[in-house]
A and B are shown apart, each in its own frame.
Chain A
Amino acid sequence: MNQLFTRGRAAALAFALGAAIVATPAIGANDVTDIGSLDQQALAALPQFQAANKQLNAYGAGLQKQYVGRAQHASQSDQQRLAGEFQGKMAEKQRQLFGPLFGRAQVAIASVASSKNLTVVVDKRIVVFGGQDITNSVKDLLTGVGDPVPPVSTPPPSKVGYVDQSAIDQTPKVKSVTDDFLKFKQEQDKAAADKLKGAKTAADRDNVLKDYRKTLDDQQNKTLKPMVDSTRSAIGEVAKAKGLILVVDKGNIVFGGVDITKDVTDKLK
């Protein structure tokens, strides 16, 4: 439940942030040739990851049966305790299966990035054009004989920064506003569902949905947007102070980059 709630809030903020980014005038073309990209889905399709995934699924199915067996006659509080216990087991198994694979992949990525003199490697999904795609090199290292060798030197400072949006979501100001918005949205969802039940024609249905969307947009502009603007402004100020060209979400960074999350959250307090 908490996980869903957090995810919902993160989604609301991410949506608002994404929608509210306004293009500022270009300050000037900065020379950056050290950005690499990696197709993480291609790595996930490697046999060792597939095998680990299969094992995890089988383990999860077994746990599920055990949970149902133990939870069906348990009280609600016991069910919650059991759910926590089984989630812990699942997470431990996941660490056990994927931990070594991720560690090996991270070394391979660092090794390739170092050999290509990259300061940052981002997820391929956010690259529209250019950059150095290191997916095949990393795959070669991971499927080759022996373990990849870690690079001898740390990467030079990058001009690309990143923030952990989930950490920003947890700052009191942001959390309060997003919680209020989610509550408002739940009420609107219910009201729209009731109206849709009464809609007799496709036109009625469209009108209900348009009203619903407009109400949410209006509320978003009224409550979320000012907070998003101030957050974006804080990120931009920190980025400039650190000489960064772009800031992306932590989830899109595979290797390197400059983490400015703490500076931003400090500024937002």
Chain B
Amino acid sequence: MIHSACGGTQRALAAGLGALALTVSALAFLVLSGCSHGATKPAPAPKGAVGYVVMDDLVKKHPLYEQLARYDRSIEAFDLTSTAPQVAASDPHLADRERELQKQLNEAADRTRKLIDEKQKQYQAQESAAIAAAMRGAGAGGPSAAQIAGSVNATAQQQQRGVAVQAQRDLNAYRSTLQKQDGAQVAAAQKALSDRADRTYRAKADELQSKESALSLKMASEDAPQRLALRTKLTSLALDDAAREDAQKQLTAIDRKEADALAALRNRDQQTLVALQAQLKDQVQSELTAQVAAIRKRSEGSLAQRQQTLSRQVSNLGGPVVKTNVVNGRVQQQVSSNLPPALRGRIEQLHTDYQKRFAADAKTTIADFEKTRRDLGKRFAQLHGIDGASQQGAQAQIMSLRKKREDLYGEIIAQIDREVRLIAQQRGISVVLTNIIAPAGGVDLTPDALKDIESLHE
């Protein structure tokens, strides 16, 4: 750009001022001199000294350093508690509990399969009884109906009692699991809500403190010229007592004005924090009550549903296994080809009907268990979800704190830079650097800058 711009100027001059040879020569000389800056040595820049400051030391003496350190501690705490690998899985027993639940459910599923086997036998007995009745009706002979019916009914009642006991046992295990899960969910919800309230409170406290610090800094900056003038005046030996006292009073008045304004803001902030704390407490209580109610409602619903299903299963077994007095006592799956076509059709129909009824019953039982398993799986996923949300919240909080920390650090550095610039100008230093590894011979402006920074506290 520099070269092309210069070239363009030369061309314009040559075209536009060709007639005025003398003028052109003079202008061209000036322009060429300017463009060949790199080729000929320029006039030396005014000589000065190079200085440096140790920025870390200055930052530590700044009035807002305590606030900066607080941000650092908060970030450090979040880093240690939220991002450390050993803490990432906040509930190390979650996986164990999930495995235990899965084991219980698998055992329950095994018992269900046994139940289904028993049902299958009962359906076969019913089918055989019905077939025997059909054959009896068709003129086929058989053993004493009352005898066989009594035996079958006794077996059925025994099976029914066994199933009822097993069903009750399953229901108790399910209830116990639900209770444990409810407890874990409530505890997790309580922790998540408390953590959130704590973060909100601390964020507000940080925000208010930042404002207090900003006000303090603003007042100190605004009053700095007046304060400096008064201090300079006070160092004058020629000052008489009255003038000295007056200057001292003015300094005191400035200090008092700043202290009063800051104290007033602090009082207001304190009230705000007290109100916020009460509000957060109510909010946590209210949300927790709602969540506990929802958790219990879900559990009660699941338990009631499970109870109904088991009752239905047991009541299905309560009906008469053999409805007629005519029984054969022999399980017959295959219909004999020697039977008359009408009877064979009837037996085939009975067989199909009982198979369908059994399949439907078994399907309901299995579906019920699958649903139970899914329901509990979802609840564990919710537990994981609460955990994950808590982790994400911590990350967001870290980001927010880092941003605030950077902003505050920027403010501090900007003010230190202003102070250092003034000192450098007063001492005739031409360049001041920071982040120096070895100050072999530069001028250290840190002590002077420290005095100025410390005066901001007064």
Contact = CB atoms under 8 A, between A and B. Distances in A.
A127 B2 contact: no
Contacts of B49: 29-32
B195 interface: no
Contacts of B39: 152
A90 interface: no
B431 interface: yes
Interface residues of A, number: 71
Contact of A18 (B41, B56, B444): B56
Contact of A30 (B54, B433, B442): B442
Contacts of A60: none
A131 B434 contact: no
Contacts of B140: none
B77 A235 contact: no
B399 interface: no
B93 interface: no
Contact of A114 (B38, B50, B53, B429): B38
Interface stretch (B79-87, B143-151, B154-162): B79-87
Given A128-B421, A129-B420, A196-B77, A122 B444 contact: no
Contacts of B434: 126-128
B264 interface: no
Interface stretch (A4-12, A66-74, A138-146): A138-146
Contacts, number: 185
A249 B437 contact: yes
B436 A244 contact: no
Given A117-B41, A117-B42, A244 B440 contact: yes
B89 interface: no
Nearest to B425: A129
Interface in A240-267: 240, 244-249, 252
Main secondary structure of the interface of A (DSSP, over half): mixed
Interface in A186-237: 189-190, 192-194, 196-197, 202, 205-206, 209, 212-213, 232, 235-236
B417 A248 contact: no
Given A129-B424, A192-B80, A246 B45 contact: no
B16 interface: no
A244 B431 contact: no
Nearest to A165: B437
Contacts of B432: 127-130
B438 A152 contact: no
Contact of A33 (B46, B421, B438, B443): B46
Given A26-B443, A146-B4, A111 B38 contact: yes
Contacts of A126: 433-435
A236 B416 CA distance: 26
B139 interface: no
B2 A140 contact: yes
Given A21-B54, A193-B84, A206-B73, A32 B45 contact: no
B225 interface: no
Nearest to A35: B431
A141 B50 contact: no
Given A128-B417, A196-B80, A246-B50, A122 B433 contact: yes
Interface residues of B, number: 56
Contact of A29 (B55, B73, B433, B443): B443
A46 interface: no
A131 B48 CA distance: 10
B436 A247 contact: yes
Nearest to B55: A128
Given A129-B417, A129-B429, A23 B76 contact: no
Contacts of B73: 206, 209, 213
Contacts of A28: 441
A77 interface: no
A31 B47 contact: yes
A31 B76 CA distance: 44
B71 interface: no
Contacts of A194: 86
Contact of B50 (A35, A116, A192): A35
Interface in B423-456: 424-425, 428-444, 446-447
A23 B435 contact: no
B94 to A, nearest CB: 15
23 contacts: A19-B56, A23-B54, A24-B444, A30-B49, A32-B49, A33-B45, A33-B47, A35-B431, A117-B42, A127-B431, A127-B434, A128-B53, A128-B416, A128-B434, A129-B421, A129-B432, A131-B431, A145-B4, A161-B438, A232-B437, A246-B52, A247-B440, A252-B435
List the 3 closest pairs (A to B, CB-CB), nearest first: A144-B1, A29-B49, A239-B440
